[in-house]
Each structure stands twice: as structure tokens, then as C-alpha cells.
Amino acid sequence: MRSIYAIYRKEMNNYFVSPIAYVVIAVFLVLCAAFFNYFLTAIIQESFQMEMQGMRFGAPADFDVPTQVLRAFFGLLSTLILFFTPMLTMSVYAEERRRGTMELLMTSPVTDLQIVLGKFFASLSLFLLMVLPTASYMVFMYLRSEPRPPWALLLAGYGGVALLGGSLLALGSFMSSLTESQLIAAVLAFSADLVIWVINIFFIRGSLGRGNTVLQYLSVIHQYEDFTRGIVDTSALIYYLSFIVLFIFLTVRSVDSMRWRRA
């Protein structure tokens, strides 16, 4: 435990002494704010139109603006996560390998699993730090909107963001452990993210029948959609947790394999 914390501490320290973390977080938040603002105005406008139509044709439409905004926003977050997590994980192992500091970690009395977990928790913390400021929009919505945004949707939405983020971070870290180049690590992570993102639409038109359901289950974004509706499905939870465990396991194997390769 102490060793995991030592690795975690060093990782966090390194994130915040290099400009990468600041730039990534700043750009992410600017994009989030811009899109949130856009969704808010667009959906409020839409609701006015609906109301006017309702007045003209009788039967006023039941239109819940906060829920619509939140759904659109969580949908957007998932897309931004796809683009931003590879940048958070690209250096995790690649840079240590390039500098030869992996040799220090691997000759210290820490197990490979402790190294991998320390690094994973650090990247997850950084990710949560990146996403957390967007909760301030929710506070604002909560204070000013009518009806109030549903708590269940908020919590499920952020839970989904954390799980989706954790999965892509685990995948990205694994990719980073395969190479000494940060750029290659980022490209590999992004491509792999994209593939598991759209794995269901690749075949959705094909006549795979059963296979379609399986592919749909495998898509990270399909699993995420329930969360944006405020539903926490056990199968989605199991999906994300096993995804994270699988890639942590693969990363441990990959770190171990560095011992067998010629340096």
C-alpha cells in the first residue's frame, strides 16, 4: 500500500510540474463551458418554440429543459473524454522507458502490480480533477432552473463519466507501456478508443443477428448511454470494471515482459 502511494505521489507530482496537465485541463474546461453554454441556449430556445406550438395547437408540450441539457452535456463529455484521455496517459510508461527510470522502479522493492496500480490511480485522479470543475455548472443549474435537475441523472451521469474515463485510461496506459514514444502511445490509445467506441456501428447493418447484440455489449459508448438516462445497470458496471481490470492485468504483463526483452 505504501509503495502504491509512493508511486501515486510521484506521478501526481510529475503531472503538475509539466505543462501537459495544465494545458489539457484548461482546454478541456474551455470546451466544456462553450458546449454547455451552447446546449443551454439551444435547448431553451427549443423549449420556447415547443411552448408556442403548444399554445397554437392546444395541449402544451411537457418539456424538461434541465434533463435535456444534462443528457446533451453528458453525451458531449463522453466525446471529449475520447479525445482527451490519450493525452493524459501517453507519457505514463513511454516516458519512463525512454528515460531509463523504468529500471529504477523495476529494481526497487515494489511489485509490477504496485507500479501499475499507483500509476492508474494517479491518472484517474488527474482525470477526475479535470472533470470535477464542470460540476459547478450543475450547481448553477440547480439554483436557477425549474424544474430542478434530477439528482439521479446527475449522479449516474458522473458515475458513468468516471467509469468510462477509468476504462479508457486503463487502455491508454497499456498502450503507453508498449512503446518508448509518447506520440505512438497517444495514437495507439486513440485508435483503440475509437474502435471500441464504434464497434457496434461497424456491424449494425450486417446480418450478424446474435453477434450484433454481443458487439453492442462490447461498445464502451453503448454501455454509457444508460448512465445519461439516469439508469445504473449492473451489467454496465460489470462491463466497465472488468474492462479496467483486464487492461490493468495486461499492463502488468507488459511491464513484466520488459524484463525479458533486450534493452
Partner 1 sequence: MIEVQDLTKTYGSVTAVDHVSFTVNKGEILGFLGPNGAGKTTTMRILTGYMPATSGTARVAGFDVFNDSIEVRRRIGYLPENPPLYPEMTVESYLDFVARIKNVPADKRSGRITDALQKTSLVDKRTELIKRLSRGYKQRVGLAQALVHDPDVIILDEPTVGLDPKQIIEVRHLIKGLAGSHTIILSTHILPEVSMTCDRVVIINKGKVAAVDTPQNLTTQLKGGQKIRLEVKAPEKSLQEALAQIPGAGKIQIESPRQDGHLLATVEAVPGQDLRSQIAAKVVERGWQLYELRGVSLSLEEIFLELTTDDAAHAQPTN
Q: How far is the CB of 174 from partner 1 (least distance, A)?
A: 21
The residue whose grid cell reads 505543462 is: 19
Q: How far is the CB of 155 from partner 1 (least distance, A)?
A: 35
Cα(92)–Cα(96) distance, integer angstroms: 7
Q: Which residues bind partner 1 (CB under 8 A)?
A: 2-3, 5-7, 9-10, 13-14, 17-18, 99-111, 259-260, 262-263
CA angle 118, 29, 68 (to 5 degrees): 110
Task: Please identify, using beta-carbon distances, which residue of 126 and 171 lies nearer to partner 1.
Answer: 126
Q: How far is the CB of 176 from partner 1 (least distance, A)?
A: 16
Q: How far is the CB of 83 from partner 1 (least distance, A)?
A: 25
Residue partners of 118: CB distance under 8 A and separation at least 6: 3, 4, 5, 6, 7, 8, 10, 11
Cα(99)–Cα(258) distance, integer angstroms: 14
Q: How far is the CB of 41 from partner 1 (least distance, A)?
A: 42
Q: Which three cell numbers stand for residue 27?
A: 482546454
- Going by C-alpha positions, the residue among 6, 40, 8, 38 that lies closest to residue 141 is 40
Cα(71)–Cα(65) distance, integer angstroms: 10
Task: Please identify, using beta-carbon distances, which residue of 10 and 229 lies nearer to partner 1.
Answer: 10
Task: Please identify, using beta-carbon distances, which residue of 111 and 216 lies nearer to partner 1.
Answer: 111
Task: Please identify, using beta-carbon distances, which residue of 93 and 243 lies nearer to partner 1.
Answer: 93
The SS3 of residue 44 is: helix
Please say whether the beta carbons of 168 and 85 come within 8 A. Answer: yes
Task: Please identify, using beta-carbon distances, which residue of 139 and 263 lies nearer to partner 1.
Answer: 263
Q: How far is the CB of 8 from partner 1 (least distance, A)?
A: 10
Task: Please identify, using beta-carbon distances, which residue of 14 and 125 lies nearer to partner 1.
Answer: 14
